[in-house]
Structure 1
Amino acid sequence: MNGLRVASLLAATMTTGLVAGVYAIYANAFMPGLAKTDDKTFVGAFQAVDRAILNPLFLGLGFLGAAVLTLLAGLLSLKQDALPWIAAAFVLYLVTIVLTVAVNVPLNDALKAAGDPATIDVAAARAAFDEARWRTFNLIRTVLATASFGLLGWALYLTGKSAAQP
């Protein structure tokens, strides 16, 4: 049981960190880079990346896996000192899922539904996308997922510390 608890906490920490990194890359490189492009390039590139990220590795193992693994780690740590930190990490990460589903995904889907950049009014599609809103909510996701990652890291420390005590 102890091995499973530690393994689930380690996996939760790693997957949460990976997702926080994805959000950070969007915030620090991808969106600022796209902001400097023309409308056709923006729409086409964003559509292509959004289609590419919808894959089992990211969605299953990363995005949803982080939540499932954090929940599992919490359930396996019910009487452990790390539980409050795991619970806080889970809540913060859950908020990122809610924001993603409520804000970012609908904006992504609307931009994809606008159609092929070669045949649509790309300026209108880009304006309707609302880059500022997308970036703001992505930044919130980045901060929350990074905080969740940090809390899980602290929970790992506490778990190791308690295991090392006689």
Structure 2
Amino acid sequence: MNGLRVASLMVATMTTGLVAGVYAIYANAFMPGLAKTDDKTFVSAFQAVDRAIVNPLFLGLGFVGALLFTLLAGLASLQEKALPWIVIAFVLYLISMIVTVAVNVPLNDALKAAGDPGTIDVAAARAAFDEGKWVTCNLVRTLLATVSFGLLGWALYLTGRSAIQP
């Protein structure tokens, strides 16, 4: 059980960190960069990136995997000092997923559904997208996932420390 506990906690920490990093890249580089572009560039680039990120590696291993591995780590740590930190990390990451599914994904899907940037009113599509709402919710999910990552790192530290203490 110790091997499963450590392995699941390590993978939970890594996948949560990767997802937090993706959100942070959107917050710190992608969206600020796109904010400075014209409407056609914004719509074209956002649609292309959103289509690319919807893939099994990110969605399966990263986005959903982080939650499942955190759950598994918690179940494998029921009698451990790290459990409260894993539970809080799980809840915070779950909230970040809810924000993503409730706000960011519908906005992404609506922008993709607007159509080919070469044939639509890109100014209207961009305005309907509600950049401010998307950016704000992305910042919320970035903070939640980052704190979750930190808590899992702390839980991993506690797990390692308990393994070497008598």
Q: How many residues align?
A: 166
Matching of residues 139-154 of structure 1 within 5 Å: 139-154=139-154
Pairing 1:80–2:74 present: no
Matching of residues 44-123 of structure 1 within 5 Å: 44-123=44-123
User: Aligned partner of 2:120: which letter?
Assistant: I
SS of the aligned residue for 1:78 comes to coil
1:143 is displaced (CA, Å) by 0.4
1:116 is displaced (CA, Å) by 0.1
SS of the aligned residue for 1:81 comes to coil
- TM-score (norm: length of structure 2): 1.00
Instruction: Report the identity percentage.
Output: 83
User: Aligned partner of 2:149: which letter?
Assistant: F
Q: Which residue number corresponds to residue 10 of structure 2?
A: 10
Return 5+ residue gaps in structure 2 as ranges.
Answer: none
- Separation (CA, whole Å) in 2 of partners of 1:4 and 1:89: 18
1:104 is displaced (CA, Å) by 0.2
1:162 is displaced (CA, Å) by 0.4
- Separation (CA, whole Å) in 1 of partners of 2:59 and 2:106: 16
1:11 is displaced (CA, Å) by 0.2
1:121 is displaced (CA, Å) by 0.1
Cα deviation digits, residues 18-66 of structure 1 (max 9, x gap): 0000000000000000000000000000000000000000000000000
- Separation (CA, whole Å) in 2 of partners of 1:41 and 1:28: 18
- Separation (CA, whole Å) in 2 of partners of 1:4 and 1:78: 12
- Separation (CA, whole Å) in 2 of partners of 1:153 and 1:109: 33
- Separation (CA, whole Å) in 1 of partners of 2:94 and 2:54: 19
Q: Which residue number corresponds to residue 42 of structure 2?
A: 42
Q: Which residue number corresponds to residue 163 of structure 1?
A: 163
- Separation (CA, whole Å) in 2 of partners of 1:116 and 1:35: 19
1:15 is displaced (CA, Å) by 0.2
Q: Which residue number corresponds to residue 31 of structure 2?
A: 31
User: Moved runs in structure 1, 4+ residues, more than 3 A?
Assistant: none
User: Aligned partner of 1:85: which letter?
Assistant: W
Cα deviation digits, residues 66-93 of structure 1 (max 9, x gap): 0000000000000000000000000000
User: Aligned partner of 2:113: which letter?
Assistant: A
Q: Which residue number corresponds to residue 130 of structure 2?
A: 130
